[in-house]
Structure 1
Amino acid sequence: MTDRVVPVEEQIIQMSMLNYEPLPMLEVIAERFVLSLTSSLKTQTASVVDVKLSRFDYMSYAAAMAELPGQGLIAVCNAEPWDNSLLMAMDSRFLFAALELMLGGQLNKSTGKAATKPGGHTFTTIERRMGQKLAELTLAELREGMQQVSDVNFVVERMESNPHFATIAQPNSAAVLMSLDVDFEGTKGSVAIIIPYGTLDPIRPLLTKVFYGERYGDDAWRKHLSERIETSTVTLTALLHERSYPMAEVLCWAVGDTIDLRLEEDHPATVLCSGVPMFKGVLGKKQNGSSALRVTEDLNGRDELSHVVDPD
């Protein structure tokens, strides 16, 4: 039995579905969310709590749903005023350890574990309500982190124990998965938050910006850092020409074909540094035969890069 040969067109479609726009600011928000949630859970449970961000991944909604805990509660939430939804899932170990401590109980010191639901057992109304309160507490900390870029409020609409009843997006749509590992005095549980890209659409341009951090340290240290950066080496790329071709024409290319680039001998080139256009220039040759480029126009790329070194 031979493997099926996947056509080039289908491969392109599959690869395009796997490419998700990174959201650097959201990653920063997630890290700060973990710190604030740790402090909040310590206050609410009066115990030693350790929260870690175990993973932050861009994936399809179906793949993210497959990573949810097998047994627990899922909070289906509405993001106001974005007018869209997100999910927060809590496994039973996190849920019952947190609830037991919040109600003044103590974890089993001999095993370091809290009670968990037997397989297939449904959650009671009281457990669902307490789980919703715990979800609201967690989402309140996420809302505080989001305040850096947008005013938003996360409202829990309902609690579900079956993931099939918590569907909020198409299986192939892009989503962000944030998984947290929570340790209550030796009892370890997990929390997962799934945010579809559609939910983030109103603020996605803000989340795609690179975060350089606040200004810390004295001026002497900043001057030293700037001097070290200025004396470092960078890689420059000379982009000679770009031309678009119909996909149907590209798929018909074969070995031996001649591609007309429509490139003149004195065509100008663009010099880039890390993708930032720096200069325009004209290509030529030196007396020893090596290629050279004469700068004819400054594209202000130096100013843009200098702002990264010193945003002031």
Structure 2
Amino acid sequence: MAGSEVLSQAEIDELLSALSTGVVSAEDIRSEEKQRKIKVYDFKRPDKFSKDQIRTLYMLHENFARLINTYLSAHLRTLVHINVASVDQLTYEEFIRSLPNPSVINIFQMRPLKGNAILDINPNIIFSIIDRLFGGPGLPPGKPRALTDIEEAIVRRLIGKTLESFQEAWKQVVAIEPRMEAIETNPQFTQIVPPNDMVVIVTLQAKIGQSEGLINICIPYLVLEPIMSKLTTTFWVASSMAKQFSQESMDILQRKLEKARVPIIVELGRSTVTVQELLDLSVGDVLQLERNLADSLSVMIGQKEKFKCKPGTSGHRVAIQITESILGGDDTDE
């Protein structure tokens, strides 16, 4: 296979035949793998993405999967489960050869990044969504077929909403404006980059009702090359923290806090009595507080003393006048 990760059907049949006839045993294969201490590297298909970049793409599209999962669950009103199955890098030719015919292949742009990307949705998933939107139980047709004009119009609307979620997920790394270019059904007519160019394939496992299938996102290396430095977990965390503590977010948080209601209690004083004295209390009894008339009263916010005040009246209402702020702990900025 010369380092390729995709087996042809003939190679699969030959391997299964060798295992079943005893020519090759599973134990021999495992022992051979243990003995091999080198890794084959094919210079015709070099690795373009580091493990850190693959991990970042995985995290990024996990957020994308959550967004479209929420949208489809509410839109279809049925059980939807979508999660990231894998993130791999391979040649564009290998990706195209793995797609069935007919397929639902959506070509879209990631402006301002140059070039096109592909969003491939398994026909079972597409026809299940269409059947559900048309009032059916959400079952795909028994035999694969191409989309009709009406079905294609529904799919275009669905893809538009999906690309909005794609834009939302990617804004953590770069601000993009995805725009759908075309919908193709034959993989052989879809040529966005040369066959030997490297691409990253994000595979999502989707289950809608009783139907299951894969959603593949194919992004060529040439499209991501200008932002490769941003596809790292370090940049991801740094941008998340910067966004979290930006001045705009702090202003929003402050406005929300200013509208929050908090209880304010003015404590006139305290007195310590025995349990027997408490039991003997009756209407008209007088308790002597541990405070003089000239002393300031305590203003309690929650369970903490925050101010000192003087009692008085304002118009016909009882009121207090703040005379002192009490600072403590991390409250020096108040």
Q: TM-score, normalised by structure 1?
A: 0.58
Instruction: Say which of 141, 149, 154 aligns to 1:130.
Output: 154
Identity %: 22
- Check the 8 A contact 1:53/1:181 in 2, yes or no: yes
* Cα distance, 1:191 vs structure 2: 1.3
Whole-angstrom distance in 1 between the partners of 2:207 and 2:40: 43
Is 1:76 the counterpart of 2:100? The answer is no
* Cα distance, 1:12 vs structure 2: 9.8
Question: Corresponding residue for 1:115?
Answer: 141
Q: Secondary structure at the match of 1:15?
A: coil
Instruction: Say which of 78, 85, 107 aligns to 1:54.
Output: 85
- Describe the superposition over 1:243-269 as per-residue Cα deviations: whole angstroms up to 9, x where unpaired: xxxxxxxxxxxxxxxxxxxxxxxxxxx
The amino acid of 2:47's aligned partner reads N
Q: Give the paired residue count.
A: 198
- Check the 8 A contact 2:103/2:121 in 1, yes or no: yes
Question: Corresponding residue for 1:34?
Answer: 65
The amino acid of 2:49's aligned partner reads E
* Cα distance, 1:206 vs structure 2: 0.3
The amino acid of 2:225's aligned partner reads D
Q: Larger RCO: Structure 1 or Structure 2 (Cα < 8 Å, ≥ 6 residues apart)?
A: 1
Instruction: Say which of 168, 179, 183 aligns to 1:144.
Output: 168
**Aligned ranges 1:196-215 → 2 under 5 Å:** 196-210=220-234, 211=236
Q: Secondary structure at the match of 1:14?
A: coil
- Check the 8 A contact 2:127/2:141 in 1, yes or no: yes
**Aligned ranges 1:1-312 → 2 under 5 Å:** 14-15=42-43, 17-22=45-50, 23=53, 24-107=55-138, 113-116=139-142, 118-119=143-144, 121-210=145-234, 211=236
- Describe the superposition over 1:179-224 as per-residue Cα deviations: whole angstroms up to 9, x where unpaired: 1121112211221110001111222110134455978xxxxxxxxx
Whole-angstrom distance in 2 between the partners of 1:190 and 1:21: 23
* Cα distance, 1:163 vs structure 2: 1.0
Gaps of 5+ in 2: 1-38, 242-334
- Check the 8 A contact 1:61/1:175 in 2, yes or no: yes
Q: Report which of the two structures shows the higher radius of gyration computed on alpha carbons.
A: 2
The amino acid of 2:174's aligned partner reads S
The amino acid of 1:41's aligned partner reads L
The amino acid of 1:195's aligned partner reads I
- Check the 8 A contact 1:73/1:131 in 2, yes or no: no
Q: Secondary structure at the match of 2:45?
A: helix
Q: TM-score, normalised by structure 2?
A: 0.54
How large is the Cα RMSD of the aligned pairs?
A: 2.4
Gaps of 5+ in 1: 1-10, 108-112, 216-312
